[in-house]
Amino acid sequence: MKKIIILLIVALVFVSCGVNEHLSYNENQQQTSVQLSKANFIVVAKVKGEATATYWFGIGGIRNKALVEMAKADMLSKANILGKSRAIINVTSEIHHLGVLSPVYYRKTVIVSGHVIEFTDK
């Protein structure tokens, strides 16, 4: 019986939990106005940016808004849209929470993704 209790305690110490969350509020505000009613564009790529914050005993990391901004900046740096007739559409933001004995170690990762489109002369 003692071995089972010790095994359960050890198992609880090494258990971790992961939760995903989609940011459904309008945090993705770009002020570009583009008409996509004609077939004058092609989808070039899907881009993704990430930012992670780590917390030990609830201390460390940065706020959600800053994490989202860092993930957007990472996505934009990978998009290769400067100097071209390209735009990023369908931008979504997700948060992944990972806690190992949550008060002890906690990691939050924000992932921002979207599609790069390029406009054509058609």
Beta bridge partners of 39: none
pTM of the model: 0.71
Q: Among residues of the chain, what percentage have pLDDT more than 90?
A: 27
Digit-coded pLDDT (tens) for 52-75: 999 888 888 788 788 989 999 999
Residue-level pLDDT, tens digit, the chain, 122 residues: 888 887 777 666 666 566 656 665 555 555 556 666 778 889 999 999 999 999 888 888 788 788 989 999 999 999 988 888 888 888 888 999 888 776 788 889 999 999 999 988 86
For residue 116, count other CB atoms closer than 10 A to its CB.
20
- Spatial distance between the Cα atoms of 41 and 87, rounded to a whole number of angstroms: 10
What's the per-residue H, E or C state across 44-78? Answer: EEEEEEEEEEEEECCECCCCHHHHHHHHHHHHHHH
